[in-house]
Structure 1
Amino acid sequence: MDGFTVIAEPTRRAIVDRLRVAESDVGALVRALELSQSLVSKHLRVLRDAGVVEAQIVGKRRVYRLSADPLPDVVAWVQPYLRVWTASFDRLDEALDAEDSDGT
């Protein structure tokens, strides 16, 4: 499954957003997202199979975290847009700096 299909589903995006902030076990995700354990587990399985998250056994818990390179196809697609936006913001920053230095 490609990265776009993975993140197209809102529950999976919510899980990825939570794991971006901190690793978590299923129980914490269930409480935070107010979803059933079976639904969260189903989505975690999809995310794990797609290489977006990794699981580690800690005692009796399975703790999930984002993989080091979770959505390479999405990042590759977005990268050209980031370059364009960054260049535009750099030009805006330069224009604002020039305006400030002119005293206007």
Structure 2
Amino acid sequence: MLHRMDLATRNLRVVVRRVDFMVADGRPRPELAGLLADLATAVQALGDSVPRPQHVNAARYGLLGVAGRLDPRRVLPDAALGEAMLVVMLRPLLVDLLAATGMSDAEARASLPRL
């Protein structure tokens, strides 16, 4: 789990830089905000599962819900390139987080929509 969380943290830094750049224009992006809020909830559940490993399935379920939505054409059909890229940049992050729950890389990748 620690190794995968390290990889997820590295991916998260890239995502945060993209978000920081995007919010500078002040435009609301409720679809992206909802996606990131759901991701935050799932990550919190993953953190809660560390002292209570029996709760890892709740974290996995939340992460799978986010992973299944990571198709920029579906989340943001009329998105600018930067917004679409943010959705794409979340995909490796989700693979690492799902692997932290005990899923294999192949299973985690299979949970993502085809692009």
Tell me the TM-score normalised to structure 1 length. 0.30
Tell me the TM-score normalised to structure 2 length. 0.28
Higher strand fraction (1 or 2)? 1
Higher helix fraction (1 or 2)? 2
Larger radius of gyration: 1
